[in-house]
């Protein structure tokens, strides 16, 4: 009796079987890639926010110092002396 079923060969094609085996690993790599991108973006946002917050704090301190200099002639004299020194140095 002749046999038409070749049991030595799998019923699935080789590329499809490989893709099925590789899919979980690929998903892991893709997840790691997305986590890396998200980390870079969050670090960038965090650094930008910290720079913005520091500049805002510095501007507030400068405003308070300037208000003090406008009311106290000794502080204004110090600022003028610092400015003259900076201009003399070039």
Long-range pairs, 46-54, Cβ under 8 A, ≥24: none
pLDDT digits (tens, 9 = 90+) for 36-64: 999 999 999 999 999 999 999 999 999 99
Tell me: pLDDT of 89 over 70: yes
Burial group, residue 30, by CB count within 10 angstroms (0-12, 13-18, 19+): exposed
The structural domains of the chain, with segments of one domain joined by +, span: 35-89
Confidence of residue 30 (pLDDT cuts 50, 70, 90): confident
Higher-confidence residue of 6 and 26: namely 26
Residue 76 has which token pair?
């204004």
């Amino acid at each position: 009796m002749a046999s038409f079923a070749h049991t030595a060969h799998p019923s699935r094609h080789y590329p499809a079987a490989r893709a099925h085996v590789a899919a979980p690993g690929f998903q892991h790599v893709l997840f790691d890639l997305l986590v890396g991108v998200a980390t870079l973006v969050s670090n960038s946002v965090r650094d930008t926010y910290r720079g913005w917050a520091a500049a805002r704090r510095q501007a507030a301190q400068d405003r308070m110092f300037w208000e003090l200099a406008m009311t106290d002639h000794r502080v204004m004299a110090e600022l003028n002396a610092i400015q003259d020194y900076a201009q003399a140095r070039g």
